[in-house]
Structure formats: structure tokens, C-alpha cells
Structure 1
Amino acid sequence: MVFSLTMATPSVDFSCFSASNETLLSSSPFKTLKLPLFWPWQKVKMGPLTVSPMGFGTWAWGNQLLWGYQEAMDSELQRTFNLAVENGINLFDTADSYGTGRLNGQSEKLLGKFIREFQGQKQVKDKILIATKFAAYPWRLTPGQFVNACKSSLQRMEIEQIGIGQLHWSTANYAPLQELALWDGLVAMYDKGLVQAVGVSNYGPKQLVKIYDYLKARGVPLCSAQVQFSLLSMGEDQMEIKNICDSLGVRLISYSPLGLGMLTGKYSPSNLPRGPRGLLFRQIIPGLDPLLNSLKKIAQRRKKTMPQVAINWCICKGTIPIPGVRTVKQAEENLGALGWRLSSDELLQLEYAALESPRKMIQNIFQTR
């Protein structure tokens, strides 16, 4: 958390799809066609790229400490990946630091393997887009070292070009000179054609404007800004970042749209996950009743699940959420967030309930101002 491949299908918005449309299809002469479950044709622009309105995050793919990853899970992860791609998801977010200990880089390796072994249509496979993040490790002090980090990611994934190369976090608070070198590294990897576009992660409003201007002066457009953004994380800084992104034409990618699982409705003070997440949940969940109750009521009324409503809120705010997935069941549920939209009244209801909840998500310590 410190946290390319691009369906020659038209960018059609199927957000108006409803039960009446479903009935119409079932009685039509085309009912024998095998239709995707979640209407993958809806796409959005992100800089020069065309992506699904939701991506999937792969932080858990290799992380033993927080997510209990074991290599025996790989076959389930591959089925999860295949289901996502077959249903229109073409954006997958990863990082060169994802993976615990000897498994460092495992997330990138698995993504590359799954792409190579995907058995679906070539035109679908070719549209898969990887957004990876390069860690601002203290030994990455020069633009060349950052370019080498990009080349290492390409080797791990065995692909020719990365969709979005992202700086994982800013070093402005503790190593400002390193920050400039890393910015030049982003420019270099873009100029060399190693990435289709560049982005940043965990940048606060002031640093976001600075890097946007810096890159623009060098002819490199800033494609995306990735931050923690959800109904649990919609404080003043996050909303300011969102407004800046909108004004600059930068797409906000919202990670942890389910608050690490707190917005799923699956946990309570007496039912907490194991490990570090449990310690965090114990602090926050007791103060989430107004928000969780609101999510539950809207989900029941809409015949959706609480995670689907929480993810749809992020989509309605104009962001691209990247919920993490580890199982086919999770992917199916998250895909159900697509193809419909919350009403303006429902958005206000959720946001009011979020403000009424006394506990909020702890912000990433790497996010700058």
C-alpha cells in the first residue's frame, strides 16, 4: 500500500442497464449468445489510455504478513484474474515492493504469468494494462537507478511496456533532493518508451501540483494520482486532491475503497481479522455504525451488497477504484459494482453517514501535503 498491453470495443456507457433491459434480452432472438456477466464495454479515459471504470489491486499477491499469502493460492489467483479479464477489467495495479521477504516482486511475476497463460481472445489480452509502482527506496538516488527499477519490473512481468509507471511515494518530507532525481527518472522511462504513461501514488495536494508542473515542462503528461480514497477516507486533504485532479485532467485512482475490508460488513468488534488488520479494525469499527447502517440499507434497497455500494460510491465520484482481490468470489462480488450508479440522494446519504461516524481510516504515513 505504501500501501501494456490496451478490446477494440466502443466506449459505451451501460450504467442505465436495468432489470427491464435484462428481461428484454432474455426474450430476444439473441438470448443464445453468451453474454458477459458484468457488461465490460463501459470504459473511461485516463490520460492517453482507455481503461475499465474499476481496476483490481494485487497487494495481497505475495504479501504474507498482512494477507497470509501462500504459493498454493496461485491457481485461485489465476482463476480470479481470468474472470476479471473475461468480464472487462483491463487495469491491474501492482508494485515492485509487493511481496514479503523472498517473495518480493511476486505480485508482478504472477501478473506477467497470468497474462502469458490467459486463454481468451487475443484482442482482449492485448488490452490488459499494468500499472506498477516503483518504491522510492533510499538507495535509488539517481534517474538511472529509477529507470533500472522499471526495467527490472519489465523483466519480472516479461512484458515489453508498462501501462502506467508510478512513483510509489514522495520523499519530499525527508529527502527532497532524491525526489527530483526520481521525477527525472519518471521522465526518462517515459522518453525511452518503457511506460505508456506516468503516475504518482500517495501524493498530497501541494506535491501533486509541483510534480504536475515539473513533468509538464518536460513534455510528460501526468496520467494518474493514486491515493487512499473511500467513504472511510474522504477528509479535507483527500477531497482537495480529488479537486486538483479534476482541474488538471489527472485521473484519481482510489486504493483501499473498502477500507481494508471494514466497509464490507463482514467484521464487527467481536469478529475481527487476524494480524495487524485486527489491531486497526479494533480502533475504528466501533465508531462506524452510522456508515455501515447506511451502506446496509442502500444495499438492501438496491439488491446489492455493501462492498458493491461502497465501490460504486468511488466510481460515482469520478475515481477509478482498485479493490484488492484474492478469490473468484471476491472478484464476482466486486464486479457487481459495475453497470449501475447510485443516485445523488444516495451519495449524500452515504457521505452524511460517513461524517456522522466518529472514526476514520488512518491516513498513509507516506502521503505528503
Structure 2
Amino acid sequence: MTTKEQIHLPVMGCGTWAWGNRLLWNYQESMDSQLQEVFNLCVSSGVTLFDTGDSYGTGKLKGRSELLLGKFTQEYQGINQEKICLATKLAPYPWRLTRKSMLNAGSASAKRFGKNIDLVQMHWSTANYLPWQEWQLLDGLGDLYEQGLVKGVGLSNYGSKRLKKVARRFQERGIPLKTLQVQYSLLSTYPVLELGVKETCDELGIKLIAYSPLALGILTGKYTENNLPSGIRGWSCKQILPDARSLLQCLQAIAQSRNKTMAQVAINWCICKGTLPIPGAKNPEQAKQNIGAMGWYLDSGEVTELDKEAAKVKKTMVQNPFQSK
């Protein structure tokens, strides 16, 4: 790869898809073949952006997520093979203090992928607790691009103010910022409505990626106050569900009228807002449902109705503590 190469994200129109798929990895060996099936299904359906992070499956699992994505990419043979885009996020760990540390981290991720990284992203901003550390690491991301080791550079969990500062720094080096990831859904509109990241991204020519577009599964309708998942997800559902009844009813009504699922409507809402949603898929059925959110659009009245119901919800998703302003 050279620094002149450009990364191309999937875009709606002419038979392609305005959507990325983020695989949520189950690290048991018995699941690998099923995840390969998910990967194959997504790529053959036109979903070619796969997002992960070097902090997913670290420790004893030694970067299992990146290893699996690399393996799946190498073993896939079929339509859209040349369009597969592997994206990863490098974590600003406390022990990563220099630009060289990010070069090393990027090299390690590329080794796990078995190929150069298409899109490398800063996983989160340290502006809230260690701002001086961040600039060295961002410079390291820029070095990866300038040395031709990645096709594109992006950010995750940045607000408009911080995004503009970083964009200026990269612009001075002639490095274009390609993407920004934020937590965005009908139950997490804070980054867009309050931080204004969509307007800033549009101004700077950056594609906005929406992670957690299904709000930990709450927007799928599969959870109720009497049927809660375990762990932190269950706690979140218990806090949010009572106040979100009207929104979920609206989502269900639109889904029924469209002959779609609630999840498909929630994902499509993100697309209608001009973002690239990256829902997770752990099995082929979930992947098929996500793919069913493509190829159609909610009308303006349906979007407005969902917006109004979302605005009424007081207890929404907890924001990522690393989200900067």
C-alpha cells in the first residue's frame, strides 16, 4: 500500500450498501465456523466493512478478534472479496506514551490480520483524563498513514470540539480523517443532538459511524421488564425499559406496517440520519436480520415520529465515559 491509496467505505446506491457490520466475537473455538459463516454471508450480501479493536480479545486471548477477522478474510472466496475493509481501533493504554508505541500497536494488529490495516482508529480520547498523552498517540496514527501501513485514519468517541482540533493537526500533515465512531441510536442521541458531531463531520468530510445502533438489544424488542438479560446489560434494560415503552411501541408499529423487525427499523433510522451503523452479529440469523435493514428507507414522517418518541425518553443509554466534547 502507498499513502496515495484511498479507503472506500460502503455507500448506499447503485447496488452497494451504506452499512458496516461489527462482529461481536464469542471466543470459544466451537464458534469459529459459525462466525466464518456470518462473515461470508455479510460479504456476499455487500457488507464489506468489519470493525474491531486491539482491546477486543486481548490478555490470555491474545488479540483473538483481529486474528479471527484476518483468518476469515484469507479464507473467503467469492463476490466482493476485493472490497473487504478491515478496520481496527488502537487503545490509548496508559503504557502507550509515545508515537512509536502506536506504530508498534498498528504493526501488531496488522500481523494478527495477516495484512495491512485498511482503517486504523484511535479507540477513545484521553482528553478527559490525560490530554497530553493523546497528541503523541495521534501523531503515531499519522505516522502509520504516512509510512503506507494503513489506507485511512479515523477516531472513536470524540466530540466536535476535540474532533476539530485533531482534524486541524492532521490537515497540517496532509492526512485526511476518514471516519468518526460514536454511540448513536434512538436511545443514544447525545453525540449528535448535543455535541453536534454530525454537522462537524459533514463540514470536514468525515463519515459518521454509529456503534451500538440497537442499544444493547433494547431496540430489538426482545427484552421486557420481566425478561431481562444478565449482567450490566440487564441493569441497563431495567433502568431504560419503563421509560422507553412509548418509543418501543412506536418502533413496533412502524415495523409491523413495513413488514420489518424492530431491529431493522432501528438500524434503518440510523441510515436515514446519514450514519453508517455497525450492529453486531454472532450468528447467521442475526446477520440476516441486520442485512434486512438495507435496500429501503423510512419515510420522513416515520423518522419524525421516531425522533419525537426518542426525545421523550428521559433515561437513555449511559454514555461512554471516554466520550470527549
Give the TM-score normalised by structure 1. Answer: 0.83
Once the two structures are superposed, residues 3-57 of structure 1 have per-residue CA deviations (whole angstroms, 9 ceiling, x without a partner) of x9979x9x7726xxxxxxxxxxxxxxxxxxxxxxxxxx22xxxxxxxxx411111
Q: Does 1:79 align with 2:43?
A: no
Residue-by-residue CA offset, 1:321-368 (whole Å, 9 max, x unaligned): 000110000000000000000000000000101112232111000101
Amino acid at match of 2:190: G
For 2:162, what is the secondary structure of its paired residue?
A: helix
Per-residue deviation, 1:286 = 1.5
1:149 matched to which residue of 2? 105
C-alpha distance in structure 1 between counterparts of 2:12 and 2:34, whole Å: 31
Distance 2:12 2:272 in 1: 16
- The answer on 1:56 being equivalent to 2:11 is no
Counterpart of 2:289 (choices 325, 330, 333) is 333
Change (3 A) 1:237 1:88: closer
| CA positional deviation for 1:233 | 0.7
Query: Does residue 188 of the first structure (1) align with residue 143 of the second (2)?
Result: yes
* 2: CA distance, partners of 1:283 / 1:12: 35
Partner of 1:306: 262
2:103 aligned counterpart, secondary structure: helix
Among 245, 250, 259, which residue is 1:289 paired with?
A: 245
CA distance in 2, matches of 1:283, 1:196: 41
- Look up the match of 2:67: 109
Confirm or deny: 8 A CA contact 2:185 2:210 kept in the other structure. Answer: yes
Letter of the aligned partner of 1:223 in structure 2?
Answer: K
Kindly state the Cα deviation for residue 162 of structure 1 after the two structures are TM-superposed.
1.1
**Does structure 2 conserve the Cα–Cα contact (< 8 Å) formed by 1:267 and 1:273?**
yes
Cα distance in structure 2, aligned partners of 1:367 and 1:235? 10
Counterpart check, 1:96 vs 2:51: no
Secondary structure in 1 aligned to 2:188? coil
Q: Whole-Å Cα distance in 1 between the matches of residues 232 and 107 of structure 2?
A: 33
Label 1:200 to 1:238 Cα distance change in 2 as closer, same or farther (>3 A).
Answer: farther
Partner of 2:319: 363
Q: Which amino acid aligns with 2:237?
A: F
Match of 2:129 among 174, 186, 194: 174
Q: In structure 2, give the amino acid aligned to 1:209.
A: K
Correspondent of 1:250 among 206, 214, 227: 206
The number of residues matched between the two structures is 319
Gaps of 5+ in 2: none
Distance in 1, matches of 2:193 and 2:34, equals: 34
Q: Any conservation in 2 of the 1:96–1:104 contact (CA below 8 Å)?
A: no
Aligned counterpart, 1:197: 152
Give 1:99 shift.
1.4
For the structure 1 residues 99 and 92, does the alpha-carbon distance in structure 2 shift closer, same or farther, using more than 3 Å as the test? same
What is the aligned partner in structure 2 of residue 280 from structure 1? 236
- Please give the secondary structure, in 2, of the residue aligned with 1:56: coil
Q: 2:81 aligns with which of 125, 137, 140?
A: 125
* Distance in 2 between residues matched to 1:153 and 1:179, nearest whole Å: 19
Ranges of 4+ aligned residues in structure 1 off by more than 3 Å: 4-7, 236-239
Tell me whether 1:321 sits opposite 2:285 in the alignment: no
Structure 1 residues without counterparts, runs of 5 or longer: 15-40, 43-51, 63-68
The C-alpha deviation readout for 1:72-127, integer Å capped at 9, x for no partner, is 11111110000000100110000000016412411111000001111314xx2121
- Offset, 1:237: 5.3
Partner of 1:235: 190
RMSD of aligned alpha carbons: 1.9
Distance verdict in 2 for CA 1:321–1:94, change over 3 Å: same
CA distance in 2, matches of 1:71, 1:12: 35
Residue type of the alignment partner of 1:13: G
Given that residues 205 and 237 in structure 1 are in contact (C-alpha distance below 8 angstroms), is that contact kept between their aligned partners in structure 2?
no
1:20 aligns with: none
CA contact (8 A) 1:162 1:195 kept: yes
SS at match of 2:144: helix
TM-score computed with the length of structure 2 as normaliser: 0.94
Q: How does 1:202-241 map to 2 (within 5 A)?
A: 202-235=157-190, 238=193, 240-241=196-197
The residue type paired with residue 96 of structure 1 is D
Q: Percent identity?
A: 51
